[in-house]
Structure 1
């Protein structure tokens, strides 16, 4: 391994050395053929590529091509994806695997090893996935050396071996786990407590004596300690990316970019022990607050304290932005031991930090800015309890692209709809604009420049970053070289992207990722924009306080007693101008002015003095109580007249929190008052975010959410479905079952739903087929797999009209003395299998029991006689299952260890009920109410049983007898394999009779059959 590490951590060695030291040692076997061949380049290729050679082509069980690509010195590899992809196609004309070495002539210190893989299912596509390691003296190559050493010992290399060697997930997991450990060590050092995972949850336990700072600086507040450590470590992680730019430790009079790319570690190692033992206050705080957050002129010489420690006069840039602003948390006095920082910096040194956000098709194997998001969303010990989950990058990309496509279709398609939509999809996915006319290009560019996008539960910024990454190449292809990448990014961040989150830490990380996105394209460090009024903290669901509506503060109304136009103009001008870099003194003054203007507007709205007084005490810019949508994002809800009354967002996108709103939630009554969908049954936060998301949009705009799939059915979400039907057109849904494991370590069935606001059509679910995150199909809709809300409501309402329910039957049996039932049968609290007064009645597991005369019976108690035995089956913790050919549906509806009670009755014989339970109509009924493991018990009690004449009952019972006989005969012949009996024709006859009993039409039956 050491030889490999030396190879990768030196300058580019050339084709011959790579062939002898790497390719020949690992990949070339006795029967393989190799050859070297210089390739012809087109004129367009020559602008980016100096030379292109095939080093070797290996055949046999694992065909792979090795290529050397020498790039022009002015090429930024990450910015030349189209040209690089063209080169990749040439390499991979005959193979699905390639290992390509990218390098420069004049800068051999940085080179790249890219494994390109075109999976079998994608061989006919236009692109392939590229996984890249950065190599050279300035990069840590421990990971690539370790991974290639595992390949060295394999007798046969396969696709999966290469994919494993270039996998980024293990590296991310290792980095995060070690990061968590260092974080926990620092928290434990101060508070004496540590979060330990028990039973799937993190529990805080006291493990040692707390440091004196715990009581002196933090007043024994555990959360403040955690916030303090998170903020400090987040800043240190940010600096790992920044030093990659060569902007830290730049020698005096030297150019930016020539700095120490291991500056933080060297700053620590150069310090004497007294400084190391107080490194936060003596070194880091001067670096944070007096260097990175302080404008020191063009020379930007670091303060003496920093220069003395580094033992050289150096330049440190002024960044602005707010990340390094000193706040109340920073005033806490903490003295960590030198061992703490020594282990942290050694940990950081083991990893290669890549400053650019990667996408699923072009992955740099290192710690990229997305890791900051993963750290935040996974480091919060209670994040899962808050319903916060980190969304995989592949799904983020899919949702961003589909939302953008849907938006552009709405905004630009005027005629020839099919052709235009195809061109738009090709443009967004492949950045191909040659098929557009000049008029179409102008229309699309205007739509992209004007688009307003918001994530109301922004988390660490995954979706806004995803939208930035999709918008940038689209705008760039239409504007050419008129604007630089960094100019376009700043325009997009300023004019197109908005986000809100209730967690301040999430907002900090999201802003940090946007700053990194801007920095990556800067040649020289310039003050970063202020994102205070772009990515903000607040409760997205509320725009009221103490019962007072705050949404109309900046709305000028005719006939208003006060002429507040001047105050509104001052307020909006200050908010819009805040984005431009200001120093922290100027920012404080502007924020104070903004708050003063808001309080003035509140007074003019004649709000109660007590409310105004309470609001004055709050930080209106950052709090968890409410969010002033129409004030902070005034430009979105008050667009110029030439925007065709598009007051609201064009795209609302995100992964809102999934959490049941408990009765103890202080906001529950306010939510109930403010949201149409907040009534009846259990309410989940994501239900409210659906309604709020729609409310934030203007007409014909797009909402894209990933949420649990439980809104497909069930009484708890009936009002939400009705809201959809009245306000939206569902454009598409991609459904992921629990087996798909979308969220790491969480079993959750979810759906990506993309809808358009205010279309007066039936709300239709189109379900996309999908193989995996990486291969979400863009093929034609599977029209057989659809769910129509409006029709479903009609069917279920019709079925509900049946007068008889299981609850009725249970009550009837309760008073039937002929059954010999004892009173304590219904009230016996000692029994674990029943609930008092049978109010917890639940359908258990019903099967066609081979050889039985009736549904299987299980005794409640050994004291009951055979005559007293009634229908029970073990409650199984499983969900409804679809019927398969030759078997009858097993209706399994589980819950709180309770059973169903019914027995032989002249009106409802067991075999008749058994047939109803196993019919497609009932399967549909319960699928409508719930798609998770548990059907609401209230719905089971109200389960409708259709009345039937004796003749109708006998028709069904006769079919049941035939099915039981067929299964019995099959059991005799095949042993236990009674399911082999083909009773599908009999089952279809039962289905037809049951449909008739419920009075369903042919159209309604078709819906059930196709669902």
Structure 2
């Protein structure tokens, strides 16, 4: 481009130096005029601003004094560039008032007033060197010149040697972490936003659309629908059935789809491109152009919300690019007709910046769009407002958009007052209605309402629609923010609100769990919601309510990507789900799939009986039939520890842990003290106290001890527990590691669990906990809770739910435990112990080999082994 060539710029800009760090003429004279006065203004209406005080006219050229050429020559220079519209190139100057004086921030301003340090007071400044580089840095434009660019988005099965618009998603992810958090403009601020690879986007989009069509079109078989998406050509069964093709196309053209945390628009773009491909197959007569198809889908079908304004803007940018790529070649002889280039729509009411999780509180149950209010003026004003926004979608001139936006503001204010007077909303919520301005691209709304913002209605409408939603598909990648991060970043009030308004929010819940409930609320009955989320949904205790509720719907498929490096910049192990919201689940067999790579499944397990899926953990569902049946046998044919009368306890609260640390000493053990033991100094059957160093709250000890009386003062109950026999279990380990404190010599550290009972029972539990059966069970059942390196946080809850054989009180088992504890080389006895536990659990030889592939006995020897 002419505007990027530094040798040409020196001909039109006064004293232009591309390496200058004190001059910003390139940004002000070229880029600002290009974006705000050229791309945002009709070709025949372009002109220079004349009056200094007309700051509100932001579509006129400025900075004539920076050019070496006349104003007319500047206009001619920019003239071949078409008007694009779309709101993308609007000047987003902010106006703030301080002491009654209005200040313009980051202004497209002609004011040359400066601060004492030489910086402009009102004019945005970016030095030329940022774009062209200096002796030390390369600069943005030379960097971009190293790449080839395309405006066509690559699909998963196609790779071009170029940078496609998907790059915006990767840039967005990095921008979130890089922007200044003090400005509260675009910082990630622990937002938990990560960009989804396009292969996963493609899978989720396809499966959601397939499930939607299967649900809506009862006369269309699932195989045909799947062929429509998987085959390059139209399925044979549809080739000569134009009526059915049109019926499918009509169904797709009226779908309503939302991404409630759209980020940079990966899912909305994936949906748009995929639907165009499918509709093109179905349109055998080629009546609609790609541009018209995309425009219809953007206007009628696809919606996005994100709390960050930059996310909404990048999503809009990708949609604009997708429309631009469909333009015909320009005809420079027709400036009045914008050189034959179709202007872009305005997407302010298609992608909104808002807090999706906070809704409007209505005093009366019902539907804002469809309800019949007692005051007919509400319906009239509401309808007029929706018509204004529809008209604004296609508005092209700055004047027309300004006129419609002023009308929108007036109607919002009228409607707010009518709603307050009609007692439909609390006054503060009605005020929020009038304050939400869809055209303010700098602001993020503190609430979200699909009726108010998108003009949508619930499926059934009226007072009976409380359980129904607005969308046929809700899809996306919600933010992952754990409880600790939310509290640390000052979101206690927000967290309290979510706890009060979302039933899934229990325990130490992560933000994604609330987004799942939101998706279900926003989805119509018998429609689809699909997310990519952390695999903590599968087993985390805080996900119990979510699992219980989701199981009452139609789970179509859950895919486990946790073994793959999906998010290179995040320590997250994801799964995806596709679920149909249903009041009465059908006979669909939920499919649980382990992925071999990002595109190819390793294997799938169809669970015929959904009642077999417990709310405690879904990890069991991701195994082949043999392993699944074995885990079910262990779970259902035995008791669990919590039902046998033993106490399973966490060893110390956080407060106690710090009080203990203050009294801790590195000293020889005396009967008047407890040995402190923690994860890292616990092994199967033995304590490593004094053998390995103990890590405890950022401290390291060789022989940590604490006076018993000090413990008694800290917590008398803890003192009593420590003084008695108990099993102490390591808290962070790749498998269960437990030893028996027979004499009550140890104080268990903060990351451990303990079991108290009689010595006889404790020895039996010790054998079972350290057995291969239990190691296998825990590792499989809680696989999704594993951290990097395969480590698992062994909590009291996990211990309580360990299956214990019905005939667990076995004297031979106790004898073997005594031999293991008293022997320096117990490997032989440990092998014997495993043989006994295999028999106690009534395992077949084939089941034993699943647990221990190197099991030493033959089938005959094992069958003859008696306990």
Note if 1:651 corresponds to 2:473.
Answer: yes
Shift of 1:389: 0.7
Q: 2:198 aligns with which of 378, 381, 393?
A: 393
Distance (Å, rounded) in 2 between the aligned partners of 1:878 and 1:449: 53
Q: Which residue of 2 aligns with 1:889?
A: none
Q: Structure 1-normalised TM-score?
A: 0.59
Q: Is the 8 A contact 1:454 1:652 kept in 2?
A: yes
Q: Displacement, 1:984?
A: 6.4
User: In the alignment, what sits opposite 1:535?
Assistant: 351
1:493 aligned partner:
298
Match of 2:130 among 336, 340, 356: 340
Contact 1:658 1:685 in 2 (8 A): yes
Which residue number corresponds to residue 755 of structure 1? Answer: 579
How far did 1:442 drift?
3.0
SS at match of 2:519: helix
* 2:515 corresponds to: 689
Cα distance in 1 for partners of 2:198, 2:650 equals 52
CA shift at 1:542, angstroms?
Answer: 1.1
Change (3 A) 1:648 1:313: closer
Structure 1 residue 945: Cα displacement = 7.7
List aligned pairs for 1:889-900, cutoff 5 A: 898-900=751-753
CA distance in 2, matches of 1:614, 1:791: 39
User: 1:464·1:499 contact (CA, 8 Å) conserved in 2?
Assistant: yes
* 1:421-444 alpha-carbon deviations (Å, 9 max, x no partner): 222212112243232341432332
SS in 2 for 1:631: helix
- The separation in 2 between residues aligned to 1:540 and 1:701, in whole angstroms, is 20
Shift in CA distance, 299/575, structure 1 to aligned 2, threshold 3 Å: closer
- 1:786: Cα distance to partner? 9.6
Judged with a 3 Å threshold, the aligned counterparts in structure 2 of structure 1 residues 899 and 936 are, in CA distance, closer, same or farther, namely closer
* Residues 609 and 639 of structure 1, relative CA distance in 2, 3 Å threshold: closer
Deviation digits for residues 589-647 of structure 1, max 9, x if unmatched? 32333343333333333245555456645546642411121122223536899xx9996
Q: CA deviation at 1:909?
A: 3.2
Q: Which residue of 2 aligns with 1:742?
A: 566
Using the alignment, how far apart are the partners of 2:364 and 2:4 within structure 1? 48
Q: What residue number does 1:521 align with?
A: 326
CA distance in 2 between counterparts of 1:434 and 1:961 reads 70
> Residue 314 of structure 1: CA displacement?
4.3
The match for 1:324 is: 89
How far has the Cα of 1:758 moved from its partner? Answer: 1.1
Q: Cα gap change, 1:896/1:614 in structure 2, threshold over 3 Å: closer, same or farther?
A: farther
Q: CA deviation at 1:487?
A: 1.2
Shift of 1:791: 6.8
Q: Give the deviation of 1:588 after TM superposition.
A: 2.9
From 271, 274, 295, the equivalent of 2:15 is: 274
Over 3 Å counting, the alpha-carbon distance change for 1:720 and 1:639 in structure 2 is: closer
Between Structure 1 and Structure 2, how many residues are aligned? 683
The verdict on how the C-alpha distance between 1:826 and 1:354 changes in structure 2, with shifts beyond 3 A counting, is closer
Once the 2 structures are TM-superposed, how far is the Cα of residue 364 of structure 1 from its aligned partner?
Answer: 1.1
Matches within 5 A, 1:947-962: 952-954=809-811, 956-957=813-814
Matches within 5 A, 1:736-885: 736-737=561-562, 739-761=563-585, 766-776=591-601, 781=605, 788-790=612-614, 792=616, 799=640, 802=643, 804-807=645-648, 827=660, 829-831=662-664, 855-856=686-687, 858=689, 861=703, 877-880=732-735
Equivalent of 1:354, from 150, 157, 179? 150
Alignment-derived partner of residue 505 in structure 2: 678
- Within the candidate set 453, 461, 484, 1:632 is matched to 453
- Residues 649 and 755, structure 2, Cα contact 8 Å, conserved in 1: no
Which secondary structure does the structure 2 equivalent of 1:772 belong to? Answer: coil
Q: 2 CA distance for matches of 1:748 and 1:533? A: 33
Please, which runs of 5 or more residues in structure 1 have no aligned partner? 1-242, 244-259, 812-822, 883-894, 972-977, 995-1011
Q: Residues 695 and 617 from structure 1, CA distance in 2 versus in 1: closer, same or farther, beyond 3 angstroms?
A: closer
User: Are the aligned partners of 2:589 and 2:607 in contact in 1 as well (CA < 8 Å)?
Assistant: no
Q: Once the 2 structures are TM-superposed, how far is the Cα of residue 857 of structure 1 from its aligned partner?
A: 6.0
Change beyond 3 A, Cα 1:646–1:949? closer
Give the direction of change, closer, same or farther, for the CA distance of 1:748–1:828 in structure 2 (3 Å limit): closer
User: Contact between 2:191 and 2:480, CA under 8 Å: does it hold in 1?
Assistant: yes
Is this contact kept in 2: 1:714–1:928, CA < 8 A?
no
> Given the alignment of the two structures, is residue 988 of structure 1 paired with residue 729 of structure 2, yes or no?
no
RMSD: 4.7
> Partners in 1 of 2:265 and 2:234 — Cα distance?
29
**Stretches of structure 2 lacking an aligned partner (at least 5 in a row):** 18-22, 49-59, 62-68, 95-105, 108-121, 133-138, 178-186, 331-340, 618-631, 667-672, 695-702, 708-721, 738-747, 845-867
Counterpart contact for 1:843–1:940, Cα < 8 Å? no
C-alpha contact (below 8 Å) 1:701/1:756 kept by paired residues: yes
Q: 1:445 aligns with which of 246, 249, 256?
A: 249
Q: 2:482 aligns with which of 651, 657, 660?
A: 660
**Paired residues of 2:262 and 2:311 also in contact (CA < 8 A):** yes
In the alignment, the residues of structure 1 paired with residue 236 and residue 435 of structure 2 have an alpha-carbon distance, to the nearest angstrom, of: 57
2:575 partner SS = strand
Q: Could you give the per-residue CA deviations for residues 106-160 of structure 1, whole angstroms, max 9, x where no partner exists?
A: xxxxxxxxxxxxxxxxxxxxxxxxxxxxxxxxxxxxxxxxxxxxxxxxxxxxxxx
CA contact (8 A) 1:300 1:318 kept: no
Partners of 1:825 and 1:989 in 2: how far apart? 44
Distance 1:468 1:721, change over 3 A: same
Aligned to 1:436, which of 237, 242, 254?
237
TM-score (ref. length: structure 2): 0.68
Kept in 2, the 8 Å contact 1:841–1:900? The answer is no
Structure 1 Cα separation of the partners of residues 760 and 12 of structure 2 = 90
Mapped contact 1:287–1:306 kept (Cα < 8 A): no
Match of 1:475 in 2: 279
1:175-254 matched pairs, under 5 angstroms: none
Matching of residue 291 in structure 1 with residue 38 in structure 2: yes
**Secondary structure, aligned partner of 2:389:** helix
**Could you say which residue in structure 1 is the equivalent of 2:110?**
none
SS of residue paired to 2:163: coil
Offset at 1:691? 0.5
Maintained 8 Å contact 2:732/2:794: no
Paired residue secondary structure (2:204): helix
Alpha-carbon distance in 2 for matches of 1:551, 1:291: 48
Counterpart CA distance in 2 for 1:576 and 1:730 is 37
Within 5 A, what are the aligned runs for 1:64-213?
Answer: none
* Cα distance in 2 for residues equivalent to 1:824 and 1:403: 49
* Residue in structure 1 matched with residue 228 of structure 2 by the alignment: 427
Write the distance in 2 (CA, Å) between the matches of 1:398 and 1:901. Answer: 45
Spell out, residue by residue over 1:380-410, the C-alpha distance to the aligned partner (whole angstroms, 9 max, x if none): 2253721011111111112111212222222
Are residues 284 and 803 of structure 1, via their aligned partners in 2, closer, same or farther at CA, if it must alter by over 3 Å? same
The aligned residue for residue 557 of structure 1 is 371
Q: Following the alignment from structure 1 to structure 2, what is the Cα–Cα distance between the partners of residues 267 and 399? A: 48
Q: CA deviation at 1:855?
A: 4.5
Report deviation, 1:744: 1.2
Does 1 or 2 have the higher relative contact order (CA < 8 Å, sep 6+)?
2
Displacement, 1:741? 1.4
Question: Could you tell me how far 1:501 is from its partner in structure 2?
Answer: 0.4
| Aligned mates of 2:807, 2:598 — CA distance in 1 | 54
1:5-31 deviations in whole A, cap 9, x for unaligned? Answer: xxxxxxxxxxxxxxxxxxxxxxxxxxx
Shift of the 942–593 alpha-carbon distance from structure 1 to 2, 3 Å rule, reads farther
| Cα displacement string for residues 47-83 of structure 1 (whole angstroms, at most 9, x for unaligned residues) | xxxxxxxxxxxxxxxxxxxxxxxxxxxxxxxxxxxxx
C-alpha offsets along residues 761-804 of structure 1, whole Å, 9 cap, x if unaligned? Answer: 49975222322114346x76466999953475896997475153
Once the two structures are TM-superposed, the CA of residue 905 in structure 1 deviates from its matched residue by 3.8
Q: C-alpha offsets along residues 977-1004 of structure 1, whole Å, 9 cap, x if unaligned?
A: x99x69865442233499xxxxxxxxxx
